[in-house]
A = this chain, B = another copy of it.
Amino acid sequence: MSAAIQDSYAEELSHCYGCGANNPDGMQLKTRWDGDETVTEYLPRPEHTAIPGYVHGGILASLVDCHGTGSAAAAAHRANGHEIGDGTPPRFVTASLQVDFRKPTPQGSPLVARGRIAEQTDRKVVTDVSVTVDGVEVATGRVVAVRMPDGMRPKG
């Protein structure tokens, strides 16, 4: 698999709770290419519970969300002729997030999110996401990501 797209994000834009390398309290998600699919793995912390023994839906939603924006950045970077590690990719933010919880998600094993780019323009990337645990699909989702507005960039 490739390097992680989040490790190519600009330093001042790397504080995301889900996937920022500079957020020590966050989930530190890492999205990589595996051929034409994108992959993020995450082992939930013990406190990330819903009903005891099962993973909290909001953690699954955070995984799908950041995997979607990471996939969007990687896909846009590739469309611009670059692979991960070769320059700074454009950044995307989430316009909408849909998650369908297919089965209760057991705690204790890594979540594996795999993404396929369903639609891509210069401004918008739609990623379909499947989340599995030990090979069993527990959730599916769709992330509509749009180019980060310049107004959101930190000043100074």
Contacts and interface: CB of A to CB of B under 8 A. Distances in A.
Interface of A: 12-13, 15-18, 20, 23, 25-26, 45, 47-54, 56-59, 61-63, 65-66, 91, 93-101, 104, 148-149, 152-154
Most central of A12, A50, A98 by chain B CB within 10 Å: A50
Contacts of A91: 51
A80 to B, nearest CB: 21
What's the number of copies of this chain in the assembled complex? 2
A92 to B, nearest CB: 11
A51 B26 CA distance: 13
13 contacts: A16-B50, A17-B56, A17-B58, A17-B59, A18-B50, A18-B56, A25-B47, A57-B94, A57-B97, A61-B97, A96-B100, A97-B101, A98-B99
